[in-house]
Structure 1
Amino acid sequence: MPEDRPAIPTKPTLDKDLDKFTYVEDAANHVTKRLIAPGLGLIFLGLVMFFTGIYVLDRPGATLVIAAAALAGYMAMNIGAKDVANNVGAAVGARAITMTQALVMAAIFEILGATIAGGPVIRTISTHIIDTDRVISNDKLAWLMMAALLSAALWINFATWLKAPVSTTHAIVGAVVGAGAAALGPQMVNWHILAAISVGWVVTPFLGGIIAVSILFFIKTFIIYRDDKIAAARYWIPILIGLMAGAFAAYLILQLTPKGTVSAALNIMIGVAVGLLAWAAARPLVAAQSVGLENKNSALRKLFRLPLICSAALMSFAHGANDVANAIGPLAAIVRSVSLGGSLNVVAGAEGHNAPFWVVMIGGCGISVGILLYGPRLIRLVGEQITKLNPMRAYCVALSAALTVIVAAWFGFPVSSTHIAVGSVFGVGFFREWYTSHSKRRLAYMRMKAEAAGITDGEAANANVHNPDEVHRRRLVRRSHFMTIIAAWAITVPVSALLAATVYWAMVALFI
């Protein structure tokens, strides 16, 4: 009788078929997830067109305004997807806040900034780059602004897909210049204004980096490398919070009041008063947080977490107040030209240059939608991949960006938040490289800790210094990202200008 052998288990046919259905379902879900964000974006643009129609459907040129509103919404979504990294990337990179929390916070404060303090840059985008005093045809102005919106949004969309943190200000300014030159000739471009804007673009990244380095040097000197870190933090962190609050208060005064109504001295006094109030409120909070903390850098990270989150929220507010004009500036010009109909001198000379509320809401909501749908991609680049950020260094970046925006606004420069934020991040990274190997205070502090731990100086301590491969590996700034970002900045204006000119000529051939 043959020996019984154990039966080889076989998978039932039904189970195999069910597994096939499961694989198909997984594949379908994977494809569907990638279509959710574009689908929601299209729904938002449909809502923008619907609500714009409610306001302008009974007016001449309503179709043109509705189409322009959709392009402005598209542009705003791209700004939100790209620029959210400037506002909360440092906080996310420093692990002070989760990605979801950062996206929701940024979306809320962007809308608040756009609706409460939006508008000061609108006149520059809509009437100053192109000499609208000499533009005779309202239709031509409307179409060139349409071309500028579409081309800038396309370029930003493409750059965001490549994870390149280009400047939305560069894109829209270059697009207005290119479309204006194509429609009216290069003589209609205010080149002196463009030159002044370009100077601001060159100066502000360095200014942001210098301010960030100065703040980080202060923190390292007076808090980190002190015998009693916690006591130093209890003393200095409330002062830093007061400085941040006062600076943002002064910035908001600049945004909320008509130009010239608040003197520089009064603005400074208001900022100082708000800063003192914030300092007084922060002292007991920081003292309570510091109870029971060990005298370690990890404890300092906990104390810097709340100031960092607050600075990221305020930076989102400031961004919404400033960069919303990159989306709605051209739309505001189109709405005014279509509504007024006659001479554009009325538009260019008008001081009431703020856009209608519904136009501002398109920009604010569009930025927030872009943040929620596409924001995480560049947050990881700015917050994590350029250089490693902890809450102290991230706070330096956020505060530096805020102060740089205020200084630029004081002199009337339409600055790029991307330049300032990335310049601050790179400044912190390069400073850390220098400070790690050159700071006498740090070296003395590390030597003291080594002696306390019973570690003696030996060849192993200095071996890596003389190893070129190890030195290169230990660099704190990713050089590849640095060159990529600089290249993206350099080509944005010419590319967006050329694309806008091409789009305008295509529109002329198809629609005019």
Structure 2
Amino acid sequence: MSNNDFEAGNLETLDRDLGRLSNLEIATAYAARPMVGPGISLVFIVLASLLAAVFFGQSSNTLVVIVAAGIGAYMALNIGANDVANNMGPAVGAGALSMGSAIAIAVVFESAGALIAGGDVVKTIAKGIIAPDSLPTAQVFIWAMLAALLSAALWVNLATWVGAPVSTTHSVVGGVMGAGIAAAGFAAVNWPTMTKIAASWVISPVLGGAVAAAFLWFIKARIIYQPDKIAAARKWVPVLVGIMAGAFASYLALKGLKKIIKIDITTSLMIGAAIGIAIWAIMIPVIKKQSEGLENRNKSLKILFGIPLVVSAALLCFAHGANDVANAVGPLAAIVQASQSGDFTHAISIPLWVMVIGALGISFGLFLFGPKLIRMVGSQITKLNPMRAYCVALSAAITVIVASWLGLPVSSTHIAVGGVFGVGFFREWDATRRMKKARIDVPTLPEQPTEERRRRKLVRRSHFLTIIAAWVITVPAAALLSAAIFTVISLISG
């Protein structure tokens, strides 16, 4: 054998070995990838507990607060993984945002909402579900809040794992109720409040779906089905963007800025009307310029709705951060206050470090685990485009305003997902109507077989049934889990 042959053989062997090493590295990376999210989450939970140890200081309840901070961080991670998908899912499913852009925007606006305007809902979470004075001691109250926080976090984690977007608010409410019943009996629960929350299971998705379907009908009738779609869009898109701006201005004034300034429903509507008219006037020349040179087809209309959809998703995230951060830190703030002063019957104040845990936890949870639910809401229930996704975002803001005006407690999760269902079912109805009309106009068109009609359904029934089932059992499941956890804690501590 010549030297050249020998060298060639060695090089070939080396290439094979390097190839095996490369494949091994790829396989190792693939195997390790599922552990990255849980690993980072564990580090965050430990850091949150250390933060609590630093800021809370030394007292007899320091260990309890450290544990509660870790559980609060775990709950915040789950809120980011599950709840935020409802705001970003439609924009991603419609192709207006990439997954990376959606996560980046959501992280910024969720954190801003939590830190700037968050905290108002805490008193409802800690005080509105059970009567604190029905609990015998501050220690029992602390155990009840700890059980509520852990049970809600575990339930939301399970829901995310099976791919069901559930209400984190209802999860915490169920947790507080279950622990309260275990601690002081059924009389401790504020049943009128619980009745309203149960009613919102039906009201939230139905109202959200109806509003989204109504806007989609308007867009189809006034723009999509018009002979000159671009001319119709120039007229109506500024109006729709103005309605969106007005709705979100009212939404943020009413729900998102309570920590800064207290605004009633009438004032918020006046603010919304003024901003809506101003944005409508501004958007007329903008849409006119943006529509120049566009072809007279539906694909061109998607361009005109892209930016409004992105803006609406960002604003929804801000409002969500302002309100739903309380689901993570409400019970934690109550535990901190009761541990510091022994007072658990008066208003709860939230320390800044507690809010930071909530804001960062939501952001990390979205970044690490959010894509699964974003894909579910955005593309796996029904197919969305920018017009349909815009209707979902708009319905979320308007439904919350209407519900606040009527004094109904509603879930942002139920409204947003209900909006997606509403859009999908409206598309089914509209497609069936147009098919029947086409058969009347052209009698020779054949009737579709039953199996073909079933296959062409535009809303996936399996996801619909899974999500509805998860909604119905959220409060009782969280309550039972919380009661069991409270009982175990009481036995261990007693």
- Give the superposition deviation at 1:458: 7.3
- Per-residue CA distance 1:228-268 (angstroms, 9 max, x = gap): 11111111111111111111111222232479954443322
Inter-CA distance 258–74: structure 2 relative to 1 (3 Å threshold): closer
CA distance in 2, matches of 1:389, 1:395: 9
Are the counterparts in 2 of residues 212 and 399 from structure 1 also a CA contact under 8 Å?
Answer: yes
Inter-CA distance 330–485: structure 2 relative to 1 (3 Å threshold): same
> Match of 2:181?
181
> Match of 1:148?
148
> Match of 2:298?
297
Are the counterparts in 1 of residues 90 and 392 from structure 2 also a CA contact under 8 Å?
Answer: yes
Are the counterparts in 2 of residues 226 and 232 from structure 1 also a CA contact under 8 Å?
Answer: yes
- Give the superposition deviation at 1:471: 1.1
CA distance in 2, matches of 1:229, 1:53: 61
> Match of 1:323?
324
Residue 134 in 1 paired to residue 134 in 2? yes
- Give the superposition deviation at 1:151: 1.3
Any stretches of 5+ residues in structure 1 without a counterpart? 1-8, 448-455
Q: Which amino acid aligns with 1:380?
A: R
> Match of 2:473?
491
> Match of 2:488?
506
Residue 377 in 1 paired to residue 363 in 2? no
Are the counterparts in 2 of residues 120 and 354 from structure 1 also a CA contact under 8 Å?
Answer: no
Inter-CA distance 141–412: structure 2 relative to 1 (3 Å threshold): farther
Inter-CA distance 158–261: structure 2 relative to 1 (3 Å threshold): closer
Are the counterparts in 1 of residues 84 and 366 from structure 2 also a CA contact under 8 Å?
Answer: yes
How many residues are aligned here?
485
> Match of 1:364?
359
- Give the superposition deviation at 1:20: 3.5
Are the counterparts in 2 of residues 86 and 382 from structure 1 also a CA contact under 8 Å?
Answer: yes
Correspondence for 2:396 among 389, 398, 401:
401
Inter-CA distance 283–498: structure 2 relative to 1 (3 Å threshold): same
> Match of 2:423?
428
Are the counterparts in 2 of residues 144 and 183 from structure 1 also a CA contact under 8 Å?
Answer: yes
> Match of 2:219?
219
- Give the superposition deviation at 1:124: 1.0
- Give the superposition deviation at 1:434: 0.9
CA distance in 1, matches of 2:331, 2:108: 24
- Give the superposition deviation at 1:443: 5.4
Identity %: 52
**Which SS does the other structure have where 1:375 is aligned?**
helix
- Give the superposition deviation at 1:356: 2.3
Inter-CA distance 480–240: structure 2 relative to 1 (3 Å threshold): same
Q: Please identify, of 412-421 and 191-200, the stretch whose mean Cα deviation from structure 2 is larger.
A: 412-421
- Give the superposition deviation at 1:53: 2.1
- Give the superposition deviation at 1:164: 1.5
Inter-CA distance 253–132: structure 2 relative to 1 (3 Å threshold): same
> Match of 1:416?
411
- Give the superposition deviation at 1:177: 1.1
CA RMSD of aligned residues (A): 2.3
> Match of 1:35?
35
Q: Which amino acid aligns with 1:119?
A: G
- Give the superposition deviation at 1:282: 1.7
CA distance in 2, matches of 1:21, 1:309: 44
Any stretches of 5+ residues in structure 2 without a counterpart? 1-8
Q: Which amino acid aligns with 2:471?
A: W
Q: TM-score, normalised by structure 1?
A: 0.90
Q: Which amino acid aligns with 1:283?
A: I
- Give the superposition deviation at 1:29: 1.0
> Match of 1:195?
195
- Give the superposition deviation at 1:15: 4.4
- Give the superposition deviation at 1:467: 1.5
- Per-residue CA distance 1:116-137 (angstroms, 9 max, x = gap): 2212321111111011133231
- Per-residue CA distance 1:30-64 (angstroms, 9 max, x = gap): 12211111111122112212222222013452221
Inter-CA distance 102–266: structure 2 relative to 1 (3 Å threshold): same
CA distance in 1, matches of 2:266, 2:467: 38
- Per-residue CA distance 1:435-477 (angstroms, 9 max, x = gap): 122259x958x99xxxxxxxx9574xx33x3321211111111
Are the counterparts in 2 of residues 249 and 270 from structure 1 also a CA contact under 8 Å?
Answer: yes
